[in-house]
Structure 1
Amino acid sequence: MRKHITSISNPLVKHLLLLQKKSKLRKSENEFIIEGVQELNYAIEAKYTLKQVLVCNDVFENNIQLDDLDCEVIDISQDVFEKIAYRSSTGGVIAIAETKNLSLKDLNFKTKSPLILIAEAPEKPGNIGALLRTCDAANLDAVIIANPKTDLYNPNIIRSSVGTVFTNSIATGSTSEIIDYLTKNSIYIFAAALQDSSSYLKEDFTKATAIVVGTEDEGLSESWRSQAHKIIKIPMEGKVDSLNVSVSASILIFEAKRQRLNH
């Protein structure tokens, strides 16, 4: 018989609420929250380890086989669900899962000419989520976050990425660690920046390629600009000289994909 939680004062409910809010707790406990049927399905496909799945049967969309899950399944009341849910349209299911290491050494490429996006020090969950959605749509070989300022298991990133934080192959590291990794693996570095740059339309992205983008406010650090094989830009014809990072990344990624389809 499954456990049933009806009180918002239950210790597990309090723990879950803290996991949603506190990055330090997520890191110390190696746990995070997954909310939503689609997001949970993606995490299961990516072989994330689930610890508990909380289900509100009043709103549960029965397209996950709960009996097949290798974890504790707990029924919760609608009051509890409304207390812990970020949004109402999540199918009535919330899970606690174990984080992954996200180490560079764990990346495995299926091709000899991988296409990788590297984002240096992105901070806004909405931008990170948009980047991950683009990378999923383009089926990139990997996404690497350099000098991360935001915990990738932040609920806002999971939500804004519509679960593609689980569908992408992701790693994190310092800028110097990532540059060393790219060099050792003979991956060509294209850094997106305004200074001393040429149009991205003149470049060949069919070899093993890393496209590196920075934030709109700060741009890329000198380390990336000095170590890049080429510095590229998207020509601007209006008044502004830059685009949102997720928009810029999308343009560069899909040009690389176009070249590879025609190669």
Structure 2
Amino acid sequence: MITSIQNNKVKQWRKLYKRKERLKTNTFLVEGYHLVEEAKKSGWEIREIILVENKDIPTWCQHFSVFLVGESVLKHISRTETSQGILAVIEMKETPLQKNNHVLLLDAIQDPGNLGTIIRTADAAGFGAVILGEETVDVFNDKVIRATQGSLFHIPVISAKLEDMIEELKEVGFTIWASTLEKATYYDELDVPKKVALILGNEGAGIRQVLLEQADTCVKIPIYGKAESLNVGIAASILMYYIKQKQS
């Protein structure tokens, strides 16, 4: 039983909320039964499980290194308003790209909630991978992980230089769609090619010009009211489901 927030283990766990420490240890934290179980079911390596005192240890946890902690320690390391009393330290990994006709590329998405929602939607829409550009928020950020609701463990999420990735995708027959408002065609006026890589851009600045120049087609979503634009997560949902529907 660990009862002091000064314990070295507790200090190590807290450090995992910083990207620098995650990269140093190649691990990250998840919280809640659903996320821990999804990591296990998807074959991600669980290094440690942290369980609050007076909780029964689930049967499936008994194969792992389990640390019991007091309520004060749980509050110190938890990032949720109502903790379920379970966290896990999980080893990072990048799932390799698999054969799929639909790929999502994200250019400098900054909001953790947006990124997590987009990953979750890409998983639901049956996309083959989400590729993160260099300025995109860290996928192992705790807010991103919670927003994915476990989809992080189901779909390959890869960090790459988007300029190079676009060229590689073109070489294997992908058509590149870029979501932008300028010089763009309404998405529902287009035929969907067999292989599509969809680019979405930063919440404020949009897609960088260098990527727009690499795109084959610029697409936009009609705005019927007075809003200037849609949230990037909503735009991603509309476009991914349209692409998938037209290919089903």
Output the TM-score relative to the length of structure 1.
0.88
What is the letter of the counterpart of residue 151 of structure 2? T
Correspondence 1:209 to 2:196: yes
Seen in structure 2, the aligned counterparts of structure 1 residues 61 and 208 have a Cα distance that, compared at 3 Å, is farther
User: Does the CA-based 8 Å contact 2:51-2:87 persist in structure 1?
Assistant: yes
Give the deviation of 1:59 after TM superposition. 4.4
Structure 1 segments unaligned to the other structure (5+ residues): none
Write the mapping of 1:237-248 to structure 2, written as runs, cut at 5 A. Answer: 237-248=224-235
User: Does the CA-based 8 Å contact 2:109-2:135 persist in structure 1?
Assistant: yes
User: Does the CA-based 8 Å contact 2:33-2:86 persist in structure 1?
Assistant: yes
Selected match of 1:115 from 93, 99, 102:
102
Give the deviation of 1:167 after TM superposition. 2.0
Give the deviation of 1:89 after TM superposition. 4.0
| 2-structure distance, mates of 1:163, 1:172 | 18
Partner of 2:2: 5
Give the deviation of 1:149 after TM superposition. 3.3
| 2-structure distance, mates of 1:256, 1:54 | 41
Correspondence 1:65 to 2:60: yes
| 2-structure distance, mates of 1:176, 1:146 | 9
Partner of 1:87: 80
Deviation digits for residues 36-63 of structure 1, max 9, x if unmatched? 111111111222212111111434684x
| 2-structure distance, mates of 1:232, 1:36 | 38
- Between the aligned residues of both structures, percent identity stands at 29
Give the deviation of 1:170 after TM superposition. 1.0
Partner SS state of residue 65, structure 1: helix
Partner SS state of residue 5, structure 1: coil
Output the TM-score relative to the length of structure 2.
0.93
Instruction: Using the TM superposition, name which of 247-256 and 40-49 deviates more.
Output: 40-49
Instruction: Using the TM superposition, name which of 244-253 and 136-145 deviates more.
Output: 136-145
Q: Which runs of 4+ in 1 moved over 3 A?
A: 59-62
Deviation digits for residues 102-143 of structure 1, max 9, x if unmatched? 6xxx2112x4xx111111111110111111121122122111
Q: For the aligned residues, what is the CA RMSD?
A: 1.8
Give the deviation of 1:184 after TM superposition. 2.5
Correspondence 1:19 to 2:16: yes
What is the letter of the counterpart of residue 97 of structure 1? I
Partner of 1:156: 143
Partner SS state of residue 96, structure 1: strand
Partner of 1:31: 27
What is the letter of the counterpart of residue 78 of structure 1? E
User: Does the CA-based 8 Å contact 1:189-1:230 persist in structure 2?
Assistant: yes
Seen in structure 2, the aligned counterparts of structure 1 residues 90 and 163 have a Cα distance that, compared at 3 Å, is farther
